[in-house]
């Protein structure tokens, strides 16, 4: 087995703002596994708020290289590498390699039916209410829109009001990206409910999850930064209504499927999200999206240029064909 690791810097089509950050580029790592006949690939961006950058991901892969090249299984990979972008990239490469060896697509190996196009959210970065409502209008085919907030309570409510006025037809969710305090929640959630917002994602900082206990929100609350891996799911009950699974956080599709099953057992909703990346990073999430209630996989739409072949966005949906990743072809 031969493992190669490459890194790339992807340029965004325009700057993207969330609470506390402005992004103009995205660094990604691509892991490739080859056995002389078959090949598997995986792309990861890491998790910026956990310090999971390119250097960290490279170091994690190099620490596990000997065991990976000896022929590690996806299940064993969870024991030898921690959750994060590095494991996600290798896990995806193992899935595609296994599919090629078996002559079966990844979805079949995962025990899932043949995938169908899925409705995905399209994300609006934080800006003025006027600019954000114009962006919402520009997403003409979108059925579902997610809005990035900054924790500026009055301004955020004005942003949501402007977007809802511009797009009364869409499912609307908001992402607090850890920007709010517990004292903001009553006012915030009441205003969101007034504007028919269907989901509030990660309003409080990571580490403040306990402050959600006993809060009776009029709309569902999803955990993102607070829920990194399978180990965090059990603690979501009573604090969150929805578990947002991102493969760069949890360390790959293998763990993502386990997280989805664990969330279901607890009666929680399942959401699949993504960091910014190309279609190669999006394709494994698309497989997980087949068992999710909510899908937020618009990462490639932020890029100035995607990979080819690419996933397809049409009529508010996402589809990843077998030519993108994990087809089962040698």
Residues in the chain: 330
Question: Quick one: angle between helices 85-102 and 54-69, nearest 10?
Answer: 40
Decide: helix, strand or coil at residue 295.
Answer: strand
The CA distance from 171 to 174, in Å, is: 10
Annotated catalytic residue 249? no
Residue 190 to residue 97: CA distance in whole angstroms: 49
Task: Give the pairing type, strands 39-44 and 21-34.
Answer: antiparallel
* Among 135, 146, 148, 249, the one annotated catalytic: 148
The answer to whether the CB of 29 falls within 8 A of the CB of 46 is yes
Q: Is 148 one of the catalytic residues?
A: yes
Q: Do residues 289 and 270 lie in contact, with contact meaning Cβ atoms separated by under 8 Å? A: no
Contact yes or no for 275/28 (Cβ under 8 A): no
Q: Which residues pair with 3 in a beta bridge?
A: 33
Which of the following is catalytic: 104, 135, 146, 246? 246
Residues that are catalytic: 148, 246
């Amino acid at each position: 087995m031969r493992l190669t690791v490459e890194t790339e810097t992807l340029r965004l089509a325009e700057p993207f703002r969330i609470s506390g950050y402005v992004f103009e580029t995205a660094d990604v790592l691509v892991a490739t596994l080859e056995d002389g006949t078959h090949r598997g690939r995986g792309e990861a961006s890491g998790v910026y708020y956990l310090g999971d950058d390119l250097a960290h991901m490279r170091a994690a892969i190099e620490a596990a290289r000997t065991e990976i090249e000896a022929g590690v299984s996806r299940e064993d990979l969870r024991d030898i590498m921690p959750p994060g972008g590095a494991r996600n990239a290798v896990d995806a490469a193992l899935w595609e390699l296994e599919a090629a060896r078996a002559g079966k697509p990844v979805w079949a190996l995962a025990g899932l039916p043949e995938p169908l196009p899925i409705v995905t959210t399209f994300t609006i970065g934080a800006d003025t209410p006027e600019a954000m409502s114009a962006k919402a209008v520009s997403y003409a085919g979108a059925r579902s829109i997610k809005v990035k907030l900054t924790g500026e309570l009055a301004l955020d409510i004005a942003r949501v009001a402007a977007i809802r006025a511009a797009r009364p037809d869409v499912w609307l969710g908001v992402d607090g990206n850890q920007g709010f305090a517990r004292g903001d929640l009553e006012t915030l959630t009441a205003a969101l409910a007034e504007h028919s917002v269907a989901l509030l994602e990660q309003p409080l900082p990571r580490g403040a999850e306990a402050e959600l206990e006993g809060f009776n929100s009029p709309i569902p609350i999803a955990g993102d930064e607070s829920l990194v891996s399978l180990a965090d799911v059990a603690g979501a009950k009573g604090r969150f209504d929805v578990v947002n699974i991102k493969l760069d956080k949890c360390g790959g599709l293998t763990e993502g499927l386990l997280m989805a099953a664990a969330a279901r057992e607890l009666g929680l909703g399942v959401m699949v999200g993504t960091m910014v990346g190309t279609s190669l990073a999006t394709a494994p999430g698309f497989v997980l999206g087949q068992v999710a209630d909510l899908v937020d996989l618009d990462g490639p739409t932020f890029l100035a240029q995607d990979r080819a072949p690419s996933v397809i966005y049409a009529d508010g949906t996402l589809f990843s064909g077998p030519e993108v990743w994990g087809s089962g072809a040698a």
